[in-house]
Amino acid sequence: MPIVEVKGVDKVYHQGDTAVHALDNIHLSMDAGSFAAIAGPSGSGKTTLLNMIGGLDLPDHGDVIVDGRHFSEMNQSQLAQLRLNRIGFVFQAYNLIPVLSAVENVEYVMLLQGVEKAERRDRAMAMLDEVGLTEKYDNRPAELSGGQQQRVAVARAIVSNPAIVLADEPTANLDSKTGEGLLRIMAEMNERRNVTFIFSTHDKMVMDYAHRLVLLRDGMIDDDRSK
C-alpha cells in the first residue's frame, strides 16, 4: 500500500497579474520505505510538491494522501497534528531552534507530542548517538557546523518514528564530503527503520543515492524511474 499518493494536483501562484503554474496535474505514488528524490531545475516545482506532500501547502485541485489520510478532508489543525506525528522535515537551512541545544532540538517534537521528560531525553540522546553527535548534545546550533546541524535535523525528523521524512535540498549548503556523510546516515535510517525519505534536490549526489528519481519540469513530471 502506498504511503504517499498525489492525485491530479494543480497549484497556481499569482505574482501580480501573472499566474505561475507551479504544479500541473501531478500524479505520484510512493511505497513505504522509499528513498526517492524529486529533482529538476530551479522553478520546476519540486519544493512546491514537497510542501504539498508535507501538508505545508494545499493544492488548488487534486488531493494528497499520506499514511491513508486525505488532505482534502483535513483542516489546518488536523494537518498540524499529522505533521507532528507522521511527517519529519529536514530543510535546507534554518532547521534548528537557535536557543535550544542539539539534544533539546531533538526533544522538541516529542515535547509537542506530550512525551515524558525522561523518555524524551533518552530517545533524543539515542538518536544523537545514531547520527554520531553524542559529544555535541549540549551545543547550540551556532556552535555546530552546517553538517552537524543537518544531522541534528535528521535526528529530530526521525526521533518520533514518522511515516515519511521530507528533505528539501538537505545538502545544498554542505560541501560534498559532508553532504555524502549526511546522505549515508539517512540511507542507513531508511534501511534500518524502513522510514520513507523523499528529497527535493538538484544535487547529483542525492540523485545517485536515491532508489527512485522523479524529474519535474515546468510543474509536470518529466520522468519517473526506479533504480
Residue 34 Cβ, how far from other proteins at the closest point, in Å?
A: 21
In the complex with other proteins, the residue whose CB is nearer, 109 or 183, is: 109
CB environment 46-80: b (16+ within 10 A), e (fewer)? bbbbbbbbbbbbbbeebbbbbbebebeebeeeebe
Residue 21 Cβ, how far from other proteins at the closest point, in Å?
A: 17
Task: Determine the Cα–Cα distance for residues 168 and 203; give it in Å rounded to an integer.
Answer: 11
In the complex with other proteins, the residue whose CB is nearer, 54 or 209, is: 54
* CB contact at 8 A, 110 and 155: no
Residue 168 Cβ, how far from other proteins at the closest point, in Å?
A: 9
In the complex with other proteins, the residue whose CB is nearer, 109 or 216, is: 109
Task: Determine the Cα–Cα distance for residues 63 and 10; give it in Å rounded to an integer.
Answer: 9
**Interacting residues with other proteins (CB under 8 A):** 51, 54, 56-57, 76-77, 80-85, 87, 89, 91, 94-95, 97-100, 104, 108-109, 111-112, 156
In the complex with other proteins, the residue whose CB is nearer, 58 or 187, is: 58
Half-sphere exposure of 187 (CA within 13 A, CB side): 15
Residue 153 Cβ, how far from other proteins at the closest point, in Å?
A: 10
Task: Determine the Cα–Cα distance for residues 148 and 185; give it in Å rounded to an integer.
Answer: 12
